[in-house]
């Protein structure tokens, strides 16, 4: 018990103190289940080191989710989930403790996915309902297409210097079980603008959205976190080439939002209640 408490104390303290050379970021990924996600993860692991060099922080990545433990996390100021989420109870407890003790998190696309009777079941209530607030996955557009996004909170550091609306990179856009507008803890930063409709090309009718409200970037005021729905490249499945047809990080405005997110999350002055 003494050792356990000591471990939590150490990582809680260190989570808030960047190294002399700048803050440290660790990205977790799986990159196994879908070529669109694999393509995106590979792209992210090329783009983030370039951004890290430009903005003077360090970027590491790992596909070993057993590194999701107090000792390992204690040396990083920001944790990124590039595609999936922790699955073991020990990993989940370590991440929850990290976040509740001042850690920072940036999650992309599939990291918020949860669906009953799937490989990623809806079996982590704290993460999906309290932390993300979105609940389980509802549906998505298809195929991956660009959308016009609208800034919902122009005063937030994540949306600093972004235009009121901009066109995002092609993506598979998600709909959620919960209406985030009804959650007072959630600060919706970007949503799909109505000028995007119809969004998606099908062929199934429900894969094309004609109306509705769809948040795509948000933060939870109780935590230092940002969720970004982008992270699914368009792939040539039809001709079985698996060639990339789009890229996530080829959009300067969208990239600005992601950089803003990283810098805001890593800032020691950023408070959970911001």
Are 52 and 58 spatial neighbours (Cβ–Cβ below 8 Å)? yes
Mean of all residue pLDDT scores within the chain: 91
pLDDT digits (tens, 9 = 90+) for 171-187: 999 999 999 999 999 99
Tokens 């209406």 label which residue?
179
What mean pLDDT do residues 248-263 have?
98
| pLDDT at residue 18, rounded to an integer | 42
What mean pLDDT do residues 118-137 have?
97
pLDDT surpasses 50 at 9: no
pLDDT surpasses 70 at 4: no
CA distance 42 to 107: 16
Identify the band that residue 242 occupies on the pLDDT scale cut at 50, 70 and 90: confident
Are 260 and 182 spatial neighbours (Cβ–Cβ below 8 Å)? no
Where is pLDDT greater, at 22 or 58? Answer: 58
% of residues, the chain, pLDDT over 90: 84
Tokens 């609208």 label which residue?
150
Buried b (16+ CB within 10 A) or exposed e, 108-124: bbbbbbbeeeeebebeb
Q: Where are the domains of the chain?
A: 2-266
CATH 3.40.50.880 correct for 2-266: yes
| pLDDT at residue 21, rounded to an integer | 52
The full 3-state SS of 147-192, as one line of letters, equals: CEEEECCCCCHHHCCCCCEEECCCECCEEECCCHHHCCCEEEEEEE
Q: Which residues contact 95 (CB under 8 A, 6 or more apart)?
A: 68, 73, 79, 86, 127
For residue 134 the two structure tokens come to 């979105």
% of residues, the chain, pLDDT over 70: 91
Tokens 């970004």 label which residue?
228
pLDDT surpasses 90 at 273: no
pLDDT digits (tens, 9 = 90+) for 163-174: 999 999 999 999
Identify the band that residue 272 occupies on the pLDDT scale cut at 50, 70 and 90: low
């Amino acid at each position: 018990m003494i050792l356990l408490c000591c471990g939590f104390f150490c990582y809680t303290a260190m989570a808030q103190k960047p190294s002399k050379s700048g803050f440290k970021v660790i990205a977790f990924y799986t990159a196994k289940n879908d070529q669109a996600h694999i393509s995106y993860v590979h792209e992210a692991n090329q783009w983030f080191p370039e951004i890290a060099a430009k903005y003077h922080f360090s970027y590491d990545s790992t596909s070993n989710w057993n590194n999701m433990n107090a000792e390992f996390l204690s040396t990083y100021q920001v944790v990124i989930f590039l595609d999936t989420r922790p699955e073991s109870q020990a990993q989940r407890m370590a991440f929850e403790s990290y976040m509740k003790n001042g850690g920072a998190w940036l999650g992309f696309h599939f990291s918020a996915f949860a669906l009953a009777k799937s490989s990623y079941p809806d079996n982590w209530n704290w993460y999906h309902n309290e932390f993300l607030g979105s609940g389980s996955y509802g549906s998505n557009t298809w195929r991956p297409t660009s959308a016009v996004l609208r800034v919902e909170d122009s005063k937030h550091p994540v949306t600093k210097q972004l235009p009121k609306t901009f066109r995002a990179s092609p993506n598979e856009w998600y709909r959620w079980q919960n209406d985030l507008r009804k959650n007072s803890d959630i600060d919706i930063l970007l949503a799909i603008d109505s000028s995007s409709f119809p969004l998606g090309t099908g062929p199934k009718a429900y894969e094309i959205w004609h109306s509705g409200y769809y948040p795509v970037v948000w933060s939870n005021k109780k935590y230092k976190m940002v969720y970004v729905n982008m992270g699914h490249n368009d792939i040539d499945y039809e001709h079985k080439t698996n060639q990339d047809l789009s890229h996530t990080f080829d959009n300067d405005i969208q990239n600005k939002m992601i950089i803003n997110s990283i810098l805001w999350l890593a800032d020691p002055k950023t408070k959970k209640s911001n």
